[in-house]
Amino acid sequence: IKNMKGRDMITLLDYSVEEIEALLDYAIEIKALTKAGDCPQVLKGKSLGMMFEKKSTRTRVSFEVGMLQLGGHVVHLNPNEMQLSRGEGVKDTAATLSEYLDGIMIRANSNADVMELAKHASIPIINGLTDIYHPCQALADILTVIEVKGSVKGLKLCYVGDGNNVSHSLAAAGVAMGMEVYMACPIGYLPDEKIIAKIKEMGKESGGKVFITQDPKEAAVNADVIYTDVWTSMGFEEEAEARIGAFADYQVNKELVSYAKDDYMFMHCLPAHREEEVTAEIIDGPNSYVYHEAGNRLHAQKAVLAALL
Protein backbone atom coordinates (compact mmCIF):
# COMPACT_ATOMS: atom_id res chain seq x y z
CA ILE A 1 0.00 0.00 0.00
CA LYS A 2 1.51 3.24 -1.19
CA ASN A 3 2.23 6.65 0.29
CA MET A 4 0.94 6.16 3.80
CA LYS A 5 4.16 5.25 5.56
CA GLY A 6 4.88 7.63 8.40
CA ARG A 7 1.41 9.18 8.45
CA ASP A 8 -0.68 9.65 11.59
CA MET A 9 -4.23 8.41 11.80
CA ILE A 10 -6.03 10.81 14.07
CA THR A 11 -9.12 11.18 11.92
CA LEU A 12 -10.26 9.67 8.61
CA LEU A 13 -10.91 13.24 7.49
CA ASP A 14 -7.13 13.54 6.98
CA TYR A 15 -7.35 10.77 4.37
CA SER A 16 -8.65 10.96 0.82
CA VAL A 17 -11.54 8.87 -0.43
CA GLU A 18 -9.04 6.89 -2.47
CA GLU A 19 -6.84 6.22 0.55
CA ILE A 20 -9.75 5.04 2.70
CA GLU A 21 -10.78 2.70 -0.10
CA ALA A 22 -7.21 1.42 -0.39
CA LEU A 23 -7.03 0.74 3.36
CA LEU A 24 -10.28 -1.23 3.23
CA ASP A 25 -9.10 -3.23 0.20
CA TYR A 26 -5.88 -3.97 2.04
CA ALA A 27 -7.84 -5.06 5.13
CA ILE A 28 -9.80 -7.55 3.00
CA GLU A 29 -6.56 -8.92 1.57
CA ILE A 30 -4.83 -9.18 4.96
CA LYS A 31 -7.90 -10.85 6.48
CA ALA A 32 -7.94 -13.49 3.73
CA LEU A 33 -4.22 -14.16 4.17
CA THR A 34 -4.61 -14.35 7.96
CA LYS A 35 -7.49 -16.83 7.65
CA ALA A 36 -5.28 -18.91 5.34
CA GLY A 37 -2.60 -18.93 8.06
CA ASP A 38 -0.32 -16.64 6.09
CA CYS A 39 -0.53 -13.16 7.59
CA PRO A 40 2.23 -11.05 5.96
CA GLN A 41 5.15 -10.54 8.37
CA VAL A 42 5.61 -6.92 7.34
CA LEU A 43 6.22 -5.51 10.83
CA LYS A 44 9.01 -7.85 11.85
CA GLY A 45 11.16 -6.13 14.46
CA LYS A 46 8.75 -3.18 14.78
CA SER A 47 7.29 -1.98 18.08
CA LEU A 48 4.01 -0.22 18.75
CA GLY A 49 3.51 1.69 22.00
CA MET A 50 -0.03 1.55 23.38
CA MET A 51 -1.34 4.17 25.79
CA PHE A 52 -4.83 4.13 27.33
CA GLU A 53 -6.30 7.00 29.31
CA LYS A 54 -9.67 5.21 29.26
CA LYS A 55 -10.85 1.61 29.57
CA SER A 56 -10.79 -0.78 26.62
CA THR A 57 -11.41 -4.41 25.77
CA ARG A 58 -11.51 -4.60 21.96
CA THR A 59 -9.00 -1.90 21.06
CA ARG A 60 -6.34 -3.14 23.44
CA VAL A 61 -6.55 -6.79 22.50
CA SER A 62 -7.04 -6.30 18.74
CA PHE A 63 -4.04 -3.97 18.44
CA GLU A 64 -1.83 -6.28 20.48
CA VAL A 65 -2.83 -9.41 18.58
CA GLY A 66 -2.69 -7.52 15.28
CA MET A 67 0.92 -6.47 15.89
CA LEU A 68 1.81 -10.04 16.86
CA GLN A 69 0.20 -11.45 13.69
CA LEU A 70 2.17 -8.97 11.55
CA GLY A 71 5.42 -10.06 13.20
CA GLY A 72 5.82 -7.01 15.44
CA HIS A 73 5.21 -6.46 19.11
CA VAL A 74 3.70 -3.96 21.54
CA VAL A 75 4.91 -2.03 24.55
CA HIS A 76 2.27 -1.01 27.08
CA LEU A 77 2.63 2.60 28.14
CA ASN A 78 0.62 3.11 31.28
CA PRO A 79 0.42 6.89 31.71
CA ASN A 80 0.36 6.50 35.50
CA GLU A 81 3.64 4.63 35.44
CA MET A 82 5.38 7.11 33.17
CA GLN A 83 7.19 10.32 34.02
CA LEU A 84 4.26 12.03 32.29
CA SER A 85 2.36 11.57 35.55
CA ARG A 86 5.14 13.47 37.36
CA GLY A 87 5.00 16.40 35.02
CA GLU A 88 7.33 15.47 32.17
CA GLY A 89 5.98 17.29 29.13
CA VAL A 90 4.44 15.88 25.98
CA LYS A 91 7.31 17.21 23.83
CA ASP A 92 10.06 15.34 25.70
CA THR A 93 7.90 12.24 26.03
CA ALA A 94 6.99 12.19 22.32
CA ALA A 95 10.52 12.83 21.12
CA THR A 96 11.95 10.17 23.45
CA LEU A 97 9.40 7.52 22.53
CA SER A 98 10.08 8.23 18.85
CA GLU A 99 13.66 7.02 19.45
CA TYR A 100 12.43 3.58 20.57
CA LEU A 101 9.13 2.88 18.91
CA ASP A 102 7.80 2.67 15.34
CA GLY A 103 4.35 3.98 16.21
CA ILE A 104 2.00 4.81 19.07
CA MET A 105 -1.65 3.89 19.45
CA ILE A 106 -3.36 6.12 21.97
CA ARG A 107 -6.84 6.27 23.51
CA ALA A 108 -7.15 9.71 25.04
CA ASN A 109 -9.72 11.93 26.66
CA SER A 110 -8.92 14.84 24.41
CA ASN A 111 -8.29 14.77 20.68
CA ALA A 112 -6.24 17.94 21.08
CA ASP A 113 -3.80 15.99 23.28
CA VAL A 114 -3.39 13.38 20.55
CA MET A 115 -2.65 16.13 18.03
CA GLU A 116 -0.11 17.58 20.43
CA LEU A 117 1.55 14.17 20.76
CA ALA A 118 1.62 13.81 16.96
CA LYS A 119 3.14 17.25 16.58
CA HIS A 120 6.14 16.30 18.70
CA ALA A 121 6.52 12.65 17.64
CA SER A 122 8.37 11.63 14.50
CA ILE A 123 6.52 8.29 14.34
CA PRO A 124 2.89 7.60 13.34
CA ILE A 125 0.26 8.30 16.01
CA ILE A 126 -2.88 6.17 15.71
CA ASN A 127 -6.09 7.26 17.39
CA GLY A 128 -7.68 4.45 19.41
CA LEU A 129 -10.63 6.72 20.39
CA THR A 130 -10.85 10.28 21.63
CA ASP A 131 -13.71 12.56 22.60
CA ILE A 132 -14.49 13.23 18.92
CA TYR A 133 -13.17 10.37 16.77
CA HIS A 134 -12.83 6.58 16.60
CA PRO A 135 -11.36 5.99 13.12
CA CYS A 136 -10.23 2.37 13.57
CA GLN A 137 -13.74 1.42 14.67
CA ALA A 138 -15.23 3.04 11.57
CA LEU A 139 -12.86 1.19 9.22
CA ALA A 140 -13.84 -2.12 10.85
CA ASP A 141 -17.52 -1.16 10.59
CA ILE A 142 -17.44 -0.43 6.88
CA LEU A 143 -15.30 -3.52 6.26
CA THR A 144 -18.10 -5.54 7.89
CA VAL A 145 -20.78 -3.96 5.69
CA ILE A 146 -18.68 -4.65 2.58
CA GLU A 147 -18.31 -8.31 3.57
CA VAL A 148 -22.01 -8.78 4.24
CA LYS A 149 -23.49 -6.66 1.44
CA GLY A 150 -20.82 -7.05 -1.23
CA SER A 151 -20.54 -3.36 -1.92
CA VAL A 152 -21.61 -0.31 0.03
CA LYS A 153 -22.01 2.47 -2.52
CA GLY A 154 -25.53 3.89 -2.32
CA LEU A 155 -26.53 1.83 0.74
CA LYS A 156 -28.45 3.61 3.48
CA LEU A 157 -26.81 3.63 6.88
CA CYS A 158 -28.93 4.79 9.81
CA TYR A 159 -27.13 5.89 12.97
CA VAL A 160 -29.43 6.43 15.95
CA GLY A 161 -28.44 8.08 19.22
CA ASP A 162 -25.61 10.23 20.48
CA GLY A 163 -23.75 12.43 17.97
CA ASN A 164 -20.48 11.21 19.46
CA ASN A 165 -16.96 10.06 18.54
CA VAL A 166 -18.16 6.80 16.99
CA SER A 167 -20.88 8.56 14.97
CA HIS A 168 -18.43 11.11 13.53
CA SER A 169 -15.96 8.51 12.30
CA LEU A 170 -18.70 6.17 11.07
CA ALA A 171 -20.26 8.96 9.02
CA ALA A 172 -16.87 9.91 7.60
CA ALA A 173 -16.04 6.34 6.55
CA GLY A 174 -19.56 5.70 5.23
CA VAL A 175 -19.67 8.88 3.16
CA ALA A 176 -16.13 8.26 1.88
CA MET A 177 -17.38 4.93 0.55
CA GLY A 178 -20.41 6.49 -1.11
CA MET A 179 -23.10 5.61 1.45
CA GLU A 180 -26.12 7.67 2.44
CA VAL A 181 -25.70 8.22 6.16
CA TYR A 182 -28.73 9.34 8.16
CA MET A 183 -28.00 10.40 11.73
CA ALA A 184 -30.97 10.60 14.10
CA CYS A 185 -29.82 12.49 17.20
CA PRO A 186 -31.76 14.55 19.72
CA ILE A 187 -31.17 18.30 20.00
CA GLY A 188 -28.35 18.83 22.49
CA TYR A 189 -26.61 15.65 21.33
CA LEU A 190 -26.07 16.45 17.66
CA PRO A 191 -22.83 15.62 15.88
CA ASP A 192 -20.25 18.39 15.62
CA GLU A 193 -21.21 20.84 12.86
CA LYS A 194 -17.65 21.43 11.68
CA ILE A 195 -16.99 17.71 11.40
CA ILE A 196 -20.24 17.22 9.47
CA ALA A 197 -19.24 20.04 7.11
CA LYS A 198 -15.94 18.28 6.38
CA ILE A 199 -17.75 14.99 5.82
CA LYS A 200 -20.03 16.73 3.31
CA GLU A 201 -16.94 17.99 1.48
CA MET A 202 -15.72 14.40 1.28
CA GLY A 203 -19.10 13.38 -0.13
CA LYS A 204 -18.64 15.68 -3.11
CA GLU A 205 -15.86 13.39 -4.27
CA SER A 206 -17.39 10.02 -3.37
CA GLY A 207 -21.07 10.67 -4.00
CA GLY A 208 -21.81 9.84 -0.35
CA LYS A 209 -24.24 11.95 1.68
CA VAL A 210 -24.94 12.73 5.32
CA PHE A 211 -28.30 13.90 6.70
CA ILE A 212 -29.20 14.83 10.26
CA THR A 213 -32.68 14.40 11.68
CA GLN A 214 -34.44 14.19 15.03
CA ASP A 215 -36.70 11.44 13.74
CA PRO A 216 -35.29 7.90 14.15
CA LYS A 217 -38.04 6.51 11.89
CA GLU A 218 -37.06 8.78 9.01
CA ALA A 219 -33.49 7.55 9.42
CA ALA A 220 -34.53 3.90 9.67
CA VAL A 221 -36.90 3.77 6.66
CA ASN A 222 -35.45 1.38 4.09
CA ALA A 223 -32.09 1.32 5.87
CA ASP A 224 -29.54 -1.34 5.00
CA VAL A 225 -27.68 -0.81 8.27
CA ILE A 226 -28.96 0.32 11.65
CA TYR A 227 -26.18 1.37 13.99
CA THR A 228 -26.25 2.66 17.53
CA ASP A 229 -23.81 3.35 20.36
CA VAL A 230 -24.14 3.87 24.10
CA TRP A 231 -26.06 6.90 25.33
CA THR A 232 -23.38 7.64 27.92
CA SER A 233 -19.84 7.53 26.58
CA MET A 234 -16.77 7.23 28.77
CA GLY A 235 -16.18 10.47 30.60
CA PHE A 236 -19.88 11.47 30.63
CA GLU A 237 -20.98 9.23 33.50
CA GLU A 238 -22.31 12.16 35.55
CA GLU A 239 -24.82 12.91 32.79
CA ALA A 240 -26.08 9.33 32.61
CA GLU A 241 -29.51 9.97 34.10
CA ALA A 242 -30.23 13.04 31.98
CA ARG A 243 -29.12 11.12 28.91
CA ILE A 244 -31.50 8.23 29.58
CA GLY A 245 -34.29 10.81 29.43
CA ALA A 246 -32.99 12.60 26.35
CA PHE A 247 -32.53 9.40 24.34
CA ALA A 248 -35.73 7.62 25.43
CA ASP A 249 -37.22 7.84 21.90
CA TYR A 250 -33.98 6.74 20.25
CA GLN A 251 -33.87 3.09 21.27
CA VAL A 252 -33.23 0.51 18.56
CA ASN A 253 -36.05 -1.97 19.07
CA LYS A 254 -38.43 -4.19 17.13
CA GLU A 255 -40.61 -1.25 16.17
CA LEU A 256 -37.76 0.88 14.82
CA VAL A 257 -36.13 -1.91 12.80
CA SER A 258 -39.52 -2.74 11.23
CA TYR A 259 -38.97 0.36 9.05
CA ALA A 260 -35.64 -0.95 7.74
CA LYS A 261 -35.09 -3.42 4.90
CA ASP A 262 -35.83 -7.05 5.84
CA ASP A 263 -32.17 -7.96 5.51
CA TYR A 264 -30.91 -4.94 7.47
CA MET A 265 -27.73 -5.31 9.51
CA PHE A 266 -27.73 -4.24 13.16
CA MET A 267 -24.35 -2.87 14.25
CA HIS A 268 -22.88 -1.50 17.48
CA CYS A 269 -19.24 -0.77 18.30
CA LEU A 270 -19.68 -2.36 21.78
CA PRO A 271 -19.70 -2.27 24.75
CA ALA A 272 -23.53 -2.21 24.67
CA HIS A 273 -26.22 -1.63 27.25
CA ARG A 274 -29.12 -3.97 26.56
CA GLU A 275 -32.55 -2.38 27.04
CA GLU A 276 -31.04 1.10 26.88
CA GLU A 277 -29.86 2.00 23.36
CA VAL A 278 -30.86 -1.40 21.97
CA THR A 279 -33.13 -4.20 23.11
CA ALA A 280 -31.65 -7.65 23.72
CA GLU A 281 -34.02 -9.01 21.10
CA ILE A 282 -32.30 -6.93 18.40
CA ILE A 283 -28.65 -7.10 19.44
CA ASP A 284 -28.92 -10.84 20.10
CA GLY A 285 -31.18 -11.43 17.09
CA PRO A 286 -30.54 -12.82 13.60
CA ASN A 287 -29.77 -9.44 11.96
CA SER A 288 -27.03 -8.54 14.45
CA TYR A 289 -23.42 -8.49 13.23
CA VAL A 290 -21.83 -7.08 16.36
CA TYR A 291 -19.29 -9.87 16.94
CA HIS A 292 -18.33 -10.04 13.27
CA GLU A 293 -17.84 -6.26 13.53
CA ALA A 294 -15.73 -6.54 16.69
CA GLY A 295 -13.63 -9.24 15.00
CA ASN A 296 -12.94 -6.95 12.08
CA ARG A 297 -11.20 -4.47 14.36
CA LEU A 298 -8.25 -6.85 14.15
CA HIS A 299 -8.09 -6.92 10.35
CA ALA A 300 -8.87 -3.25 9.70
CA GLN A 301 -6.19 -2.21 12.18
CA LYS A 302 -3.64 -4.59 10.72
CA ALA A 303 -4.13 -2.79 7.41
CA VAL A 304 -3.61 0.56 9.15
CA LEU A 305 -0.53 -0.67 11.01
CA ALA A 306 1.02 -2.24 7.93
CA ALA A 307 0.36 0.89 5.86
CA LEU A 308 1.56 3.48 8.38
CA LEU A 309 4.40 1.67 10.19
What is the set of active-site residues?
107, 134, 137, 229, 269, 297
Of the candidate residues 1, 212, 221, 234, the single one contacting ligand NVA (CB under 6 A): 234
Cis ω on the peptide bond leading into residue 271 (within 30° of 0)?
A: yes
Between 56 and 287, name the residue whose CB sits nearer to ligand CP: 56
Would the CA dihedral through 295, 192, 105, 9 be positive or negative?
positive
The angle at the Cα of 169, spanning 116 to 98, to the nearest 5 degrees, equals 30
In whole angstroms, how close is the CB of 66 to ligand CP at the nearest point? 13
Interface map 218-257 toward ligand CP (x if CB under 6 A): ----------------------------------------
Phi/psi for 98 (5° steps) reads -65, -20
Note the residue count of the chain.
309
| E strand residue ranges, the chain | 47-52, 73-76, 103-107, 125-127, 156-160, 180-184, 209-213, 225-228, 265-268
Question: Does the protein bind ligand NVA through residue 212 (CB under 6 A)?
Answer: no
Distance CA 58, CA 68 (A): 15
Applying CB under 6 A, does 233 fall inside the site for ligand NVA? yes
User: Given the rule CB under 6 A, which of 97-105, 158-166, 218-226, 294-302 is the region that contacts ligand NVA?
Assistant: 158-166
* CA 293/CA 141 separation, integer angstroms: 6
Residue 6 CB, nearest distance to ligand NVA (Å)? 27
Site string for ligand CP, 55-84 (x = CB under 6 A): -xxxx-------------------------
Among positions 219, 269, 306, 308, the unique one binding ligand CP when judged by CB under 6 A: 269
Binding site for ligand CP (CB under 6 A): 56-59, 129, 137, 269-270
